[in-house]
Structure 1
Amino acid sequence: MPTLPKPPAPEPPPAEPPAAEPRSRRDRPAKAPLSRAAIVQAGLAILDRSGIVELTMRRVAQELDTGAASLYVYVKNRDDLLLAMLDEAMGSVPRTAHLAGTWRERVEALIEAIVHATASHEGLALVALGTIPRTDKVLLIFNDLIGLLREGGLDDRTISWSTDLLYMHATAAGAELASYIARSSNEHDVVSEASEFFAALPAERYPLIAGMHDEIMAGSGDERDAWKLRVLLNGILATPAGRP
């Protein structure tokens, strides 16, 4: 009787992968220590990426890999955080001791620096418009502006009202500039769009606007900004507070 071949031996089952060794928390990268400054920087990063509407305490906590409750050790609330973020941005405004030129040139340079500081992060200009100055860097700016206006020969009441007017002008201009930056617009695009819009208005309904099209569009943004500030300074110098 023939010998039958032996069946092949079954293959051994695949080896089990080695169990992963538990990883100690100490092996993970250490988180940066939480601080008011770190919270402010996280808030500014969110502002630049997503805008002021998306800036919440929860989002800031996620940015820092922590819980929202931990933030309140360093900031009172969202409004306090926004003020701190504004104050951080205002650190770019030079002190008047570092400004050169005539009295008007130094005032103009200071106002222009405020415009660019408030426009540096979308939404901060609106924070500045809606709050009373109460943080260190903003108060230093007001202190310097008071010194400049006093150097211009103004009385204290006129100085007080003038700082309010000039700061409101600067922050409003900052809000406008920030909106252009957020839309990635440049001056040429904005002017072209506005020119086309006004040119298309029906003259029978808006006869005065249509008749002034060329003058409405005249002048660059810098020329208009410089003129606005001249008007403010001329008016301030010529109109002491309390006098009709």
Structure 2
Amino acid sequence: MVSRRNRPAKEPLSRELIVKTAFELLKEQGMEGMSMRKVAKALDTGPSSLYVYFNNLGQLSSYVLDYGFKELTLPSDGEWKERLFGVLQAYFQLLKEQPGLAEISFTILPEGENYLKLLEFVLEALREGEINPQSAAWGADMMLLYVTSVAFEQHSRRKNDSFKLSNTKAALKNVDSARFPLIHSMNEYLFSGDVVVMERFWWGLEVILKGIKDLPVMKE
């Protein structure tokens, strides 16, 4: 038996400590590691103690997501489009470096200060580009979702050992040309695009931005 008096004093439990601990577990183990039970165990306390600070896992996850966003750097130079694409690239890099954030983004909507700064930055860039408010609002949501989905897809490929892109390529290459003529004829393009410079990623952003600029405002 080890006397409690000989143990190092625990850091007092707080909202900030819980969020920080949960974020570290998310980075190490993904969403599976961020249960209330595992967070409580890492803090050497019981799950019931966490409910004093958070109503449920969803609320904790929202805070964790925003905590991760604090590492995002907002660009300050360039024209509106350069700043817009710059922040989206920074957002993508953050999700790529912290894949747990991309994973959790599909289940939880962030509500904190850091997310609001990101959204405000995107909306401001679109406003400066003379895009109407409704299109800017819908477009900002679509752009952030697009970046999140690309980051999550890449994370899923790395995480899932059974997923091999080469298998998918082979399956599409060997399709019956009579039954699937378009897949057969466009096969060389389906997986084209320089991966290093992310040609398809930037093309996708350009497509979304063009749609935001060109489509008329939806009538209520």
TM-score strictly above 0.5: yes
Q: Which residue of the partner structure matches residue 239 of structure 1?
A: 215
Is the 1:191–1:217 contact (alpha carbons within 8 Å) kept by the matching residues of 2? no
- 1:16-73 deviation digits (Å, cap 9, x = unpaired): xxxxxx8542211222222222222322232233331343101111111111111122
Q: Between Structure 1 and Structure 2, whose CA radius of gyration is higher?
A: 1
Q: Which residue of the partner structure matches residue 179 of structure 2?
A: 205
Partner Cα separation in structure 2 for residue 208 and residue 158 of structure 1? 33
Q: Which amino acid aligns with 1:203?
A: S
Shift of residue 184, structure 1, vs aligned partner: 7.6
Residue 153 (str. 1) matches residue 130 (str. 2)? yes
Partner Cα separation in structure 2 for residue 88 and residue 220 of structure 1? 33
Residue 180 (str. 1) matches residue 180 (str. 2)? no
Partner Cα separation in structure 2 for residue 131 and residue 81 of structure 1? 10
Q: 1:184 to 1:37 in 2, by over 3 A?
A: farther
Q: Which of 90, 105, 110 in structure 2 is aligned with 1:128?
A: 105
Shift of residue 128, structure 1, vs aligned partner: 2.7
Q: Which amino acid aligns with 1:105?
A: E
Q: 1:184 to 1:76 in 2, by over 3 A?
A: same
Count of aligned residue pairs for this structure pair: 217
Partner Cα separation in structure 2 for residue 175 and residue 182 of structure 1? 10
Q: Which residue of the partner structure matches residue 66 of structure 2?
A: 87
- Helix, strand or coil: the match of 1:162? helix
Partner Cα separation in structure 1 for residue 186 and residue 63 of structure 2? 44
Q: Which residue of the partner structure matches residue 34 of structure 1?
A: 13
Q: Structure 1: any 5+ residue segments left out of the alignment?
A: 1-21
Shift of residue 148, structure 1, vs aligned partner: 0.8
Partner Cα separation in structure 2 for residue 63 and residue 205 of structure 1? 55
What percentage of aligned pairs have identical amino acids? 31
Shift of residue 129, structure 1, vs aligned partner: 3.6
Q: TM-score, structure 2 length as denominator?
A: 0.85
Q: Which of 62, 87, 100 in structure 2 is aligned with 1:110?
A: 87
Residue 217 (str. 1) matches residue 191 (str. 2)? yes
Partner Cα separation in structure 2 for residue 230 and residue 69 of structure 1? 48
Q: Which residue of the partner structure matches residue 71 of structure 1?
A: 50
Partner Cα separation in structure 2 for residue 167 and residue 31 of structure 1? 39
- 1:88-108 deviation digits (Å, cap 9, x = unpaired): 11112222xx33333222111
- Aligned Cα RMSD in Å? 2.6
